[in-house]
Amino acid sequence: MAHVRDSILAEIVSRIDANATFTGKTFKNRLQPIASELQNAIVVRAVSEAVDYSQGMLDSQPQHVMTVAVDAYRKFAGSNDPFSDANDYLATIEGIMYDGTTLSTLAQGVELGDFEIEHDDSADIDTYRCTQNFIIYYYAREGAPETPII
């Protein structure tokens, strides 16, 4: 079975991909998501995770605090504003992430994290990447990391 961490990422990808704007354009853990035929793409990836034993001290279950990055890529095409488009994508994704913050009984909660922008204007590609980080809180049984504790 999959670790709770991987199940959470899969659930996030599934939720985002269910939105008509992102169907077929949402990827998990992908470094170069934009094929020439795609004008936009979303990448969901785990950035880091810390384990906090003080939060679960009473029942000896550590709390996992995972940072998940959602990258919105937008290629420049004609007269569009890729930065504005990427921000619009992230606004939609933020709504998706907060629609039922328990992530299908996998996590205790979701918080909005930091935001960053990167622009690649090299000759062969002109792309904006806007990244919104989310902090995911969850518990997993020690010795059985595929078992979420809610």
Residue 135 pLDDT:
95
Residue 129 pLDDT:
81
Of residues 59 and 48, the one with the higher pLDDT is 48
Residue 80 pLDDT:
63
32 pLDDT band, cuts 50/70/90, is: low
Q: What is the pTM of this model?
A: 0.84
Residue 34 pLDDT:
59
- Domains plus CATH for the chain? 4-144 (3.30.70.1700)
Q: How far apart are CA 131 and CA 150, in angstroms?
A: 28
